[in-house]
């Protein structure tokens, strides 16, 4: 087992990894920017080192500073959390050459799955269904030819993309050339690469993902699916497990396909295979996230497993102790991402929290690094807490979430709590009738919340 783990992240996920380290008896090292000097992950770590100014490019994305912090403190492993450097093959390479264990997949697999075009081809080759589309587009003429062959509407996506950047939906050939140029420019600005590809657009889809874990002995397991359909601008807002759209036969069949594909590419550690579901309940591979997910607690609630501890033990070389390819799912879990945002416009709401009370009671979990009088800085993601509930069934989970939201107090800044309350009270949500455009109904003009 590792003698010391450095956590290359901040906020609630850094605190979450610290909890896992403490339970495993491993000292944890926190790194922090000047803006996070008084953060809880700094307070509860065994050691803490400042790695730079507030902007993430000067701190949490500064590979040299992070590696230096690991060397100074004598850490022999680095947990990247999610975001920042979690899916950086370069960072994983640097860890490896520096004699540090990167708690995640190999650099080669991160590189493969981080290129959406290569990932689609690899998964199709290994048996997962993918939407018809193109490879990396070389010209507007090629895009027009592919779009004509598969039929409109189509969607252009950045090969290295995420979060909706470098993405454009095209309904006819008239707007294709300009949309292609815009998407390429946006992809280059956001990801350093203008490469984009095209695929058939699925109107009103659902977003389903399978949680996987792989050890260094060739074993891969899946831990069921999560429903991540409630989104705004391709960013997840509410997640739950299991999905109302996946029965046990589908879970077993698709989970088995996922396992076979990941065994063939040599996948290790935590990962999530994401699918789009069309109106006929067909699933199509979308992408893979080669890290722990923000929404991993819902899987923990229905499986009883600690995924972060599993990440650490797998990275240390221990085999997965789960017999078979999966575990049974118990009850139903829902997670609401509580963000420092205006509930009407979704604009960020940085500032000091003047009052803070988290709900408790049976089946309620809150993952947060916030506290009363803490400051939510404007430099990072707006997530301040993950409110997770578990119930015997979906109805109980929804009722439990509704009362927990009512008892969650955050004063001094605006939060997304009112949006979550509206969703929990919505008849269609309660009935399981929704798609990725669901949140438009809460916008005054019916447009996608910005």
- Exposure pattern of 103-131 as b/e (b: 16+ CB <10 Å)? bbbbbebbbbbbbbbebbebbeebebebb
What span, in angstroms and rounded, lies between the C-alpha atoms of 110 and 30?
Answer: 24
> What is the dihedral angle through the alpha carbons of 203, 239, 59, 308, rounded to the nearest 10 degrees?
-130
Active site residues: 291
Instruction: List the structure tokens of 186.
Output: 């946006």
Of 260, 256, 131, give the one whose Cα is nearest residue 197.
Answer: 131
Closest CA to 376 of 15, 45, 10: 10
Token reading at 383:
């997530």
To 5 degrees, how large is the angle CA 152–CA 158–CA 162?
110
Give the other-Cβ count within 10 Å of 406's Cβ: 12
Please say whether the beta carbons of 343 and 421 come within 8 A: no
Residue 434: CB partners within 8 Å, gap ≥ 6? 206, 229, 230, 428
Before 126, cis peptide (omega within 30)? no
How far is Cα 123 from Cα 261, in angstroms, rounded to an integer?
6
DSSP per position, 293-314: -TTHHHHHHHH---HHHHHHHH
Question: Contact at 8 Å (CB) between 425 and 402?
Answer: yes
Beta bridge partners of 270: 213
Calpha distance 119→146 (Å, rounded): 19
d(CA 6, CA 8): 6
Closest CA to 238 of 77, 416, 412: 416
Alpha-carbon gap, residue 262 to 105, rounded angstroms: 11
Strand ranges for 108-202 from DSSP E: 154-158, 168-170, 196-200
- Lookup: tokens for 21: 């380290």
Tell me if 150 sits within 8 A of 133, measured CB to CB.
yes
Biggest CA–CA distance in the chain, Å, is 61
Number of H helices, E strands in the chain: 14, 20
């Amino acid at each position: 087992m590792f003698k010391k783990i450095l956590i290359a992240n901040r906020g609630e996920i850094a605190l979450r990894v610290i909890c896992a380290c403490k339970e495993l008896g491993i000292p944890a090292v926190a790194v922090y920017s000047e803006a996070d000097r008084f953060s809880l992950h700094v307070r509860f770590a065994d050691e803490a080192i400042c790695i730079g100014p507030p902007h993430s490019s000067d701190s949490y994305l500064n590979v040299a500073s992070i590696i230096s912090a690991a060397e100074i403190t004598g850490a022999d492993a680095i947990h990247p959390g999610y975001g920042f450097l979690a899916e950086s093959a370069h960072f994983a390479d640097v860890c490896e050459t520096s004699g540090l264990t990167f708690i995640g997949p190999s650099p080669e697999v991160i590189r493969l799955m981080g290129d959406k075009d290569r990932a689609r081809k690899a998964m199709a080759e290994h048996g997962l269904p993918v939407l018809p589309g193109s490879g990396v587009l070389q010209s507007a003429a090629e895009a027009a030819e592919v779009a004509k062959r598969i039929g409109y509407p189509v969607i252009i996506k950045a090969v290295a993309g995420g979060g909706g950047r470098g993405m454009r939906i095209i309904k006819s050939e008239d707007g294709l050339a300009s949309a292609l140029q815009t998407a390429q420019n946006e992809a280059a600005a956001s990801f350093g690469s203008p490469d984009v590809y095209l695929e058939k657009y699925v109107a009103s889809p659902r977003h389903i993902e399978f949680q996987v874990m792989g050890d260094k002995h060739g074993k891969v397991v899946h831990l069921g699916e999560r429903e991540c359909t409630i989104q705004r601008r391709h960013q997840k807002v509410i997640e739950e497990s299991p999905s109302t759209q996946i029965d046990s036969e589908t879970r077993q069949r698709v989970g088995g396909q996922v396992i076979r594909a990941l065994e063939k590419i040599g996948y290790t550690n935590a990962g999530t295979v994401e699918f789009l579901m069309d109106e006929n309940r067909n699933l199509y591979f979308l992408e893979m996230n080669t890290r722990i997910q923000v929404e991993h607690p819902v899987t923990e609630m229905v499986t009883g497993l600690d995924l972060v501890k599993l990440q650490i033990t797998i990275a240390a070389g221990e085999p997965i102790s789960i017999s078979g390819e999966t575990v049974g799912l118990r009850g139903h879990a829902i997670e609401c991402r509580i963000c420092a945002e205006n509930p009407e416009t979704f604009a960020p709401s940085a500032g000091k929290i003047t009052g803070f009370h988290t709900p408790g009671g049976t089946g309620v979990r809150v993952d947060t690094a916030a506290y009363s009088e803490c400051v939510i800085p404007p430099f990072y993601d707006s997530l301040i807490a993950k409110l997770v509930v578990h119930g015997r069934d979906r109805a109980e989970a929804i009722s439990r979430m509704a009362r927990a939201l009512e008892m969650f107090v955050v004063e001094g800044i605006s939060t997304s709590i009112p949006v979550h309350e509206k969703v929990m009270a919505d008849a269609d949500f309660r009935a399981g009738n929704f798609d990725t455009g669901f949140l438009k109904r809460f916008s005054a003009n019916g447009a996608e919340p910005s």
